[in-house]
Amino acid sequence: MTTNPDNNPPFDKPPFVVDCAYCVEGFRPLNVDQFMGPLYQGCIHCSGICRGCDGTAVFPAAPAKLSDFLAALNAQGWAPTFCPSCLGVTVLTLILPGDTLP
């Protein structure tokens, strides 16, 4: 068994981290949508731009479970499309009477 002779190894990071001025934990506030509520977008300063949606996807602020989020949107007549890379909502599609499941 090897031991580290130095009990206080040097830090790789500073002891404090300055938060991004543009976002909250990697997401920046965007606006409030009448169907999805408060929305966030991925912060381009912290995490870069998603290659799947070019950073256009939005993230609802408060869905507890995906199934509840989908049910609430479907009840209002909307079906979301998700980015395959970041899983943000890219498009809301209107569900018309007579539409069937794929």
Alpha-carbon gap, residue 35 to 45, rounded angstroms: 28
Condensed to tens digits (0 to 9), the pLDDT of residues 18-46 reads: 567 778 788 888 999 988 889 999 887 77
Tell how far CA 14 is from the center of its chain.
27
pLDDT in tens, 52-69: 999 899 999 876 788 888
d(CA 86, CA 49): 10
**Given phi > 0 = left and psi -120 to 50 = alpha, else beta, which region is 36?**
alpha
Per the CB < 8 A criterion, the answer to whether 75 and 31 are in contact is no
Neighbours of 31 (CB within 10 A): 9
Confidence category of residue 7, pLDDT binned at 50, 70, 90: low
pTM of this prediction exceeds 0.85? no
For the chain, the domains span 27-94
Q: E strand or H helix at 70, and its extent?
A: helix 66-75
